[in-house]
Chains A and B, each alone.
Chain A
């Protein structure tokens, strides 16, 4: 029996198959990935956004945005006298593929920085890769917070830069007393609603005046939930809906709202994931007056914004192409990275990471945003009402810029934590125990 096997092996090796096979495998393994030519005349920038699959709907625009920003920068002569070169990959809305592609960008393409990710899970998936290979990720989307990593720079809104000001506005200006917290069942809405629930209770809202509702991704039949909202709203107190419903499910949700006749004057809906891009798919006339909270709106009139919109539409050759908040987050983040690189005259990640906190870059709404030691930035918060033309009308804004909190003050587990990569060199410093590492044992 065994002799048969050894015989086989012998026979194979006699023909050199083994050697051939091994050579073939190693060759195959490394050939398409043989380290790219060390191109010293360009600086490579990784772009990690899904171009296919379910997330392509949101992420494709961000890929275009970063290509646009690189193009603009190259027109100005690039960075450190070198042109920027974008390396685009498609992680196809597949989370393990995000990690794989991040690894490929850093190891094989040797990019200096990566701009990418939309969903929290994709960021969580690539996080270990960025830590291991020590590179930089700029993350442009509003998220649930509770994170501060050395290698990641969060230019989107933390919950205190979006959710809490929005609720404050509704409480003060619309005198809302009853709250529906409706969201898609994933980590961002869960966390945001937890934070809001704690916040509302601290403001004296009773448990029976808060209704929390979760729906699956891509939920398309909103009849029951809209009817429930209507019912909840008819208890004689002013009611509002705080929506953390994820992109795709918003269109049917708003269509159902409009058709069931829930007007913004009766029950306003304030959304944290609905921007100009999402509204482009809906007839907004029945939705006039519903709200969204962002750090940027296309309709804000500043010279910087007008130029940005004009250049963007020229770049995409589409005069109707809208801009939105994550795009502005990239605008700020990209410029911050350029400034940091120029400051240390190197693209070495360690140097750039150390240089970034404290860097200031103008945002598109007339202010100057600053990178904080916790790797979040300062931003203004705007509340906009949906207009009939698919744009937003700013009805309220914070007096100054709001600093992003990596750790929420409202949640028990993170109350005492801060992120400080300048002084403490720690993302989860516990101010009670004065130790790095969470609650610290």
Chain B
């Protein structure tokens, strides 16, 4: 979108400039002086240059400032020449618009700090208020709303009058209200209207604006502001409960994802698999490897990296799981506590193996574009990665449930779990089913790793941080019951998130652990206990 716009804009600029070049002899005017300041490598000079360029009205102003924002503006400190590297790789002289062959050797990109970035945003805001793209206009209006720069008022009002897009119109109205609220010579009535508009917006930003506008206002306006602030605050307080619930769901989905594989190996098979966390870690590292290959070979596929990683992680972790079952765990059936020890040893080996192979430091796993960012729902921010993880978790859960309920393998698994000898007598190859069940549990842990790599460190310690929580979830929900795991995970997640604002993160977590301990006294077999004689075995 942006590129398209630039392209059209550039064509226009270039044609204008070509004419200008022929018409005028090259001389140093105020615009050229301003541009040259970019080459000084001093933040204060850069700030002046931005102001001057933005207010110059020169058609090159927009390309220069947007290049600055994207670190495409470079300057040669000796000749004081400044260049724009365009998106297509062409380089033009920022002062004249003339195309140059290549950057001088000592040209370095113009540096920014946060203060300058804000200046650039504000400058771009006023430069793009009239952009043909409605989304850009909205963004521009938002940045005016934040900066409430009085100079932008005429442009905003002009834009507002012409505006046809609904969202943009709303944004311009709010931006105008923000400016008027801070304008010292605006009438009380205008200000009161402005307060009403901002109050209707009702989010954190509006609150921030009203709070900072509160001082030295006429009494009537000040009163209205106080009223608006308290109304926004009570509205936000209500939303914060919704927000906690969402955070709880999101945390619950992470817990569920980490625990669901364990619910199979531990819950269904009764194997205490302390290496479960390492299966999650292996899944995360599989994602890392997939992304590395994609980065170096097929950069275009990056957005699909997770989709490729999911089946691979399932296969890798599942395969390792089957290998573990065949080589270690099958000798330990009926001795659950010994399995605990062997798998603990195994987890040490796997961790150190990954540390040796990939190094001890964190590995970078990127978020694909569809998992980055957030959207606003009412007054809460929902991040895409959390949302996708929630959906993904539920999908995994449903597929798993369906698999256990409706496939032959699922039937065999349940049969072997309930009565191994009877199942064997009916002709089920119990050892094959054992291996596959364990592989399934491990594989699911692997795909959990793919999802967790999006929100957590990918390091050899990844698995350890989830293993205790996973066991808590499974035990709390009731061993041998997938629904129990689901309810357990979401209960713990939501309880944790409602406790956190009250008690703090550490005490909240301690409280949850104590509650689990007490809960187990009340229901020694978890939330959803299996009934029947098998339990006492």
Main secondary structure of the interface of B (DSSP, over half): helix
Which residues from chain B contact A213 at a C-beta distance below 8 Å?
504
Choose from B247, B367, B383 the contact partner of A224 (Cβ within 8 Å).
B247
* B21-78 residues at the A interface, CB under 8 angstroms: 43, 71
Take A215-B505, A260-B381 as given contacts and tell me if A281 and B363 are in contact as well, using a CB distance cutoff of 8 Å.
yes
Choose from B213, B385, B456 the contact partner of A251 (Cβ within 8 Å).
B456
Q: Is the CB of A259 within 8 A of B373?
A: yes
Q: Is the CB of A281 within 8 A of B374?
A: no
Q: Is the CB of B114 within 8 A of A264?
A: yes
The residue in chain A whose Cβ has the minimal distance to the Cβ of B384 is A259
Bound Cα distance from A265 to B112, whole angstroms: 11
Is A319 part of the binding interface, using a Cβ–Cβ cutoff of 8 Å? no
Choose from B115, B212, B373, B456 the contact partner of A174 (Cβ within 8 Å).
B115
Is A54 part of the binding interface, using a Cβ–Cβ cutoff of 8 Å? yes
Is B188 part of the binding interface, using a Cβ–Cβ cutoff of 8 Å? no
Which residues from chain B contact A268 at a C-beta distance below 8 Å?
114
Choose from B71, B208, B351, B362 the contact partner of A281 (Cβ within 8 Å).
B362
Choose from A52, A228, A230, A237 the contact partner of B355 (Cβ within 8 Å).
A52
Least distance between B390 CB and chain A CB atoms (Å) = 12
Which residues from chain A contact B418 at a C-beta distance below 8 Å?
none
Take A216-B505, A281-B457 as given contacts and tell me if A385 and B113 are in contact as well, using a CB distance cutoff of 8 Å.
yes
Bound Cα distance from A255 to B117, whole angstroms: 21
Choose from B43, B71, B250 the contact partner of A388 (Cβ within 8 Å).
B71
Is B243 part of the binding interface, using a Cβ–Cβ cutoff of 8 Å? yes
Q: Is the CB of B212 within 8 A of A173?
A: no
Q: Per-position contact with A for B237-267: 1 when CB-CB < 8 Å, else 0?
A: 0000001100100110010000000000000
Is B121 part of the binding interface, using a Cβ–Cβ cutoff of 8 Å? yes
Q: Per-position contact with B for A260-271: 1 when CB-CB < 8 Å, else 0?
A: 110011001000
Q: Is the CB of B362 within 8 A of A251?
A: yes
Take A220-B455, A235-B208 as given contacts and tell me if A289 and B117 are in contact as well, using a CB distance cutoff of 8 Å.
yes
Bound Cα distance from A282 to B459, whole angstroms: 12
Is B414 part of the binding interface, using a Cβ–Cβ cutoff of 8 Å? no
* B329-360 residues at the A interface, CB under 8 angstroms: 351-352, 355, 359-360
Is B465 part of the binding interface, using a Cβ–Cβ cutoff of 8 Å? yes
* A210-267 residues at the B interface, CB under 8 angstroms: 213-216, 218-221, 223-225, 227-228, 230-231, 233-237, 248, 251-252, 255-256, 258-261, 264-265
Least distance between B5 CB and chain A CB atoms (Å) = 22
Which residues from chain B contact A235 at a C-beta distance below 8 Å?
207-208, 211-212
Which residues from chain B contact A280 at a C-beta distance below 8 Å?
361-362, 364
Bound Cα distance from A224 to B244, whole angstroms: 8
The residue in chain A whose Cβ has the minimal distance to the Cβ of B465 is A218
Least distance between B88 CB and chain A CB atoms (Å) = 20
Q: Per-position contact with B for A385-422: 1 when CB-CB < 8 Å, else 0?
A: 10010000101000000000000000000000000000
Take A234-B208, A264-B117 as given contacts and tell me if A52 and B352 are in contact as well, using a CB distance cutoff of 8 Å.
yes
Is B209 part of the binding interface, using a Cβ–Cβ cutoff of 8 Å? yes
Q: Is the CB of B355 within 8 A of A289?
A: no
Bound Cα distance from A100 to B461, whole angstroms: 24
Q: Is the CB of A252 within 8 A of B455?
A: yes
Bound Cα distance from A227 to B251, whole angstroms: 15
The residue in chain B whose Cβ has the minimal distance to the Cβ of A291 is B114
Q: Is the CB of B211 within 8 A of A236?
A: yes
Q: Is the CB of A214 within 8 A of B459?
A: no
Is B204 part of the binding interface, using a Cβ–Cβ cutoff of 8 Å? yes
Which residues from chain A contact B212 at a C-beta distance below 8 Å?
235-237
Bound Cα distance from A51 to B352, whole angstroms: 10
Is B386 part of the binding interface, using a Cβ–Cβ cutoff of 8 Å? yes
Which residues from chain A contact B362 at a C-beta distance below 8 Å?
57, 251, 278, 280-282
Least distance between B328 CB and chain A CB atoms (Å) = 22
Q: Is the CB of A219 within 8 A of B505?
A: yes
Bound Cα distance from A261 to B385, whole angstroms: 13
Bound Cα distance from A385 to B116, whole angstroms: 12
Is B458 part of the binding interface, using a Cβ–Cβ cutoff of 8 Å? yes
Is A107 part of the binding interface, using a Cβ–Cβ cutoff of 8 Å? no
Is B191 part of the binding interface, using a Cβ–Cβ cutoff of 8 Å? no
Take A57-B362, A234-B207, A281-B457 as given contacts and tell me if A289 and B113 are in contact as well, using a CB distance cutoff of 8 Å.
yes
The residue in chain B whose Cβ has the minimal distance to the Cβ of A225 is B505
Which residues from chain B contact A395 at a C-beta distance below 8 Å?
43, 111, 113
Choose from B355, B364, B386, B464 the contact partner of A223 (Cβ within 8 Å).
B386
Q: Is the CB of B381 within 8 A of A277?
A: no
The residue in chain B whose Cβ has the minimal distance to the Cβ of A249 is B457
Give the contact-size bracket for chain B: 35 or more
Q: Is the CB of A265 within 8 A of B114?
A: yes
Give the contact-size bracket for chain A: 35 or more
Bound Cα distance from A414 to B501, whole angstroms: 34
Q: Is the CB of B208 within 8 A of A282?
A: no
The residue in chain A whose Cβ has the minimal distance to the Cβ of B120 is A265
Take A261-B374, A265-B114, A280-B361 as given contacts and tell me if A221 and B254 are in contact as well, using a CB distance cutoff of 8 Å.
yes
Bound Cα distance from A293 to B179, whole angstroms: 36
Bound Cα distance from A251 to B359, whole angstroms: 17
Is A378 part of the binding interface, using a Cβ–Cβ cutoff of 8 Å? no
Which residues from chain A contact B361 at a C-beta distance below 8 Å?
57, 60-61, 277, 280-281
Bound Cα distance from A234 to B379, whole angstroms: 14
The residue in chain A whose Cβ has the minimal distance to the Cβ of B380 is A227
Choose from B121, B213, B351, B504 the contact partner of A265 (Cβ within 8 Å).
B121
* B169-205 residues at the A interface, CB under 8 angstroms: 204-205
Q: Is the CB of A174 within 8 A of B114?
A: yes
Which residues from chain B contact A259 at a C-beta distance below 8 Å?
367, 372-374, 383-386
* B475-494 residues at the A interface, CB under 8 angstroms: none
Which residues from chain B contact A393 at a C-beta distance below 8 Å?
111
Which residues from chain B contact A71 at a C-beta distance below 8 Å?
none
* B434-472 residues at the A interface, CB under 8 angstroms: 454-461, 464-465
Q: Is the CB of A57 within 8 A of B461?
A: yes
The residue in chain A whose Cβ has the minimal distance to the Cβ of B501 is A224
Is B497 part of the binding interface, using a Cβ–Cβ cutoff of 8 Å? yes
Is B410 part of the binding interface, using a Cβ–Cβ cutoff of 8 Å? no
Bound Cα distance from A234 to B212, whole angstroms: 9
Take A57-B360, A60-B360, A255-B455 as given contacts and tell me if A236 and B254 are in contact as well, using a CB distance cutoff of 8 Å.
no
Which residues from chain B contact A72 at a C-beta distance below 8 Å?
none
Choose from B113, B457, B506 the contact partner of A248 (Cβ within 8 Å).
B457
Least distance between A380 CB and chain B CB atoms (Å) = 18
Is A286 part of the binding interface, using a Cβ–Cβ cutoff of 8 Å? yes
Q: Is the CB of B360 within 8 A of A261?
A: no
In this complex, the member of A174, A237, A259, A282 whose beta carbon has the largest number of chain B beta carbons within 10 angstroms is: A259
Bound Cα distance from A54 to B456, whole angstroms: 15
Q: Is the CB of B461 within 8 A of A54?
A: yes
Which residues from chain A contact B381 at a C-beta distance below 8 Å?
227, 230, 260-261
Q: Is the CB of A265 within 8 A of B497?
A: no
Least distance between A413 CB and chain B CB atoms (Å) = 25
Bound Cα distance from A264 to B113, whole angstroms: 9
Is A185 part of the binding interface, using a Cβ–Cβ cutoff of 8 Å? yes
Is B500 part of the binding interface, using a Cβ–Cβ cutoff of 8 Å? yes
Q: Is the CB of A214 within 8 A of B504?
A: yes
Take A57-B360, A388-B71 as given contacts and tell me if A281 and B500 are in contact as well, using a CB distance cutoff of 8 Å.
no
Is A8 part of the binding interface, using a Cβ–Cβ cutoff of 8 Å? no
Is A283 part of the binding interface, using a Cβ–Cβ cutoff of 8 Å? yes
CB-CB nearest 9 A-B residue pairs: A281-B362, A236-B212, A236-B211, A234-B208, A259-B383, A234-B204, A56-B360, A223-B247, A395-B113
A residues neighboring B (CB under 8 Å): 51-52, 54, 56-57, 60-61, 173-174, 185, 213-216, 218-221, 223-225, 227-228, 230-231, 233-237, 248, 251-252, 255-256, 258-261, 264-265, 268, 277-278, 280-283, 286, 289, 291, 385, 388, 393, 395
A sample of 16 cross-chain residue pairs with beta-carbon separation below 8 angstroms, ordered by A number, consists of A52-B351, A54-B464, A61-B361, A216-B505, A220-B455, A221-B247, A221-B251, A223-B247, A223-B386, A224-B501, A225-B505, A236-B209, A259-B385, A280-B362, A289-B117, A388-B71
Beyond known contacts A54-B461, A282-B362: 15 more, CB 8 A cutoff: A56-B355, A60-B359, A220-B465, A221-B254, A221-B496, A228-B501, A234-B208, A237-B212, A252-B456, A255-B367, A259-B384, A281-B459, A282-B364, A385-B113, A395-B43
